[in-house]
Structure 1
Amino acid sequence: MAQLDDFKGPEADAAALPDSATLPAELAALYLCITPAQLAELRKSKRPEGRAGNGPSVIRPVEGGAAGPKDPVLYNLGTLREFARAHTAPSAFDTAASTGILGWVSAKLPFFAEREPRIKRGKRVLIGGAWDRADPLREARFVDLAKGRIRFASLTCSEAAASLWADVASHSALAEKGLALLRSETQTIEASLAATAQLAATSNSSTAT
């Protein structure tokens, strides 16, 4: 089974990793747009209520015998792709990104980011949303992620919008969603203020008469 470190030459620059590649649990969870904890639950062979687990099959590295309990759990990418095709419902990340201002400022989402800070140490430069399965560049970015060329960071959309980005178009696409939410919230607050002023005026008028 191919490991990530085995990819050299043309495969290292491929548009997508081959099905034979294996991913550690953290990247496997990211690929499926779920959390590592959710993936750990899915890989259980038996659930507490007795139902069989329905997650991707587990791949454990074996060197001269059975793998120990502390060995990392690896997933075959082909299996992950089959699982993703069979489960096309919006992910928890999709839901969090579309739950209004609360989700915008509180829900942590995975974003692809440049490996090394361009400006100064600790100043991230984002590339795109790692949960967006419709992104045509997502598979290529997983190649870069698997090879250590880029990384991913967990941020709220608010934090991401306030970060630096590698290109203006991607930053603008996310930022506009936040600005639209803020405009909507501002309009709601202004309408409430106007209604309060009208109520106060009506009350004062009634008192005067």
Structure 2
Amino acid sequence: MAHPDEIKGPEADALPDTATLPAELAALYLCISPAQLADLRKSKRPEGRAGNGPSIIKPVEGGPAGPKDPVLYKLGTLREFAKAHAAPSAFDGALNSGMPGWVSAKLPFFAEREPRIKRGKRVLIGGAWDRADPLREKRFKELAKGRIRFTSLTCAEAAASLWADVASHSAFAERGLALLRSETQAIEAALAETAQLAAASSPDAAG
């Protein structure tokens, strides 16, 4: 077995399964809302009604019990749940819903902790919902340690924000630019058809 100091690759950048995350970050890890996560820790009967059945996701037992204390989740539990529920999330649906989703749906983005330039402009790092991102585990480790933060933005806002690297910004922004090109082409095509319709119904055309 390799010495901990010799571990390299994604495992070295990831938090261990025994690490705990507060509910807000746990929900972010699972690509669901905090309200959905709260619902998942309620006991349910097999038919889905509230009852005395087992919780779907159990928070850490023996932790803070006060109503104002944070609920904590073991990362290993979250990883197991994520593997068992790998279907596209609501964030994925919003991202792929075309222009309406691009300009209206809020998605979570990793961002640098402090503004880099004047006027407090945020500097984005990547999409926090993107479970296919090979750097996601590393970024959650940085997030849990307070080295970075996350912010909720529409895709349009994110594309118009500053990013930590050009390649990530370009790849993300191209999706919005493609949508804009498609919208522009549709509008131009409709204008051309309107012109043809007007020309066909004009008195000169009828004569």
Settle same-fold status: TM greater than 0.5: yes
Residue type of the partner of 1:58? P
1:18-37 equivalences in 2 (<5 Å): 18-37=16-35
Name the counterpart of 1:3. none
Residue type of the partner of 2:101? G
1:112-131 equivalences in 2 (<5 Å): 112-131=110-129
Question: Secondary structure, in 3 states, of the residue corresponding to 2:120?
Answer: coil
Does the CA contact (< 8 Å) of 2:94 and 2:101 recur in 1? yes
State the 1:68 CA deviation. Answer: 1.9
Does the CA contact (< 8 Å) of 2:200 and 2:206 recur in 1? no
Q: 4+ runs of 1 displaced by more than 6 Å?
A: none
1:80-99 equivalences in 2 (<5 Å): 80-99=78-97
Name the counterpart of 1:79. 77
State the 1:55 CA deviation. Answer: 3.0
In the alignment of these two chains, the number of paired residues is: 197
Unaligned runs of 5+ in 1: 1-8
Residue type of the partner of 2:24? E
1:1-209 equivalences in 2 (<5 Å): 14-46=12-44, 49-50=49-50, 52=53, 55-60=56-61, 62=63, 67-205=65-203, 208-209=206-207
Residue type of the partner of 2:96? S
Stretch moving more, 47-56 or 176-185: 47-56
1:10 and 1:92 map into 2 onto residues whose CA distance is 38
Question: Secondary structure, in 3 states, of the residue corresponding to 1:110?
Answer: strand
Stretch moving more, 126-135 or 44-53: 44-53
1:69 and 1:169 map into 2 onto residues whose CA distance is 44
TM-score (ref. length: structure 1): 0.87
Cα RMSD (Å) of the superposition? 2.3
Shift of the 55–177 alpha-carbon distance from structure 1 to 2, 3 Å rule, reads same
Shift of the 53–179 alpha-carbon distance from structure 1 to 2, 3 Å rule, reads farther
State the 1:46 CA deviation. Answer: 3.0
1:37 and 1:193 map into 2 onto residues whose CA distance is 45
Residue type of the partner of 1:183? R
Stretch moving more, 180-189 or 34-43: 34-43
2:196 and 2:162 map into 1 onto residues whose CA distance is 43
CA shift digits 1:98-153 (9 cap, x unpaired):
00000000000000000011102521000000000000000000010000000000
Name the counterpart of 1:4. none
Unaligned runs of 5+ in 2: none
Residue type of the partner of 2:59? V
Residue type of the partner of 1:17? L
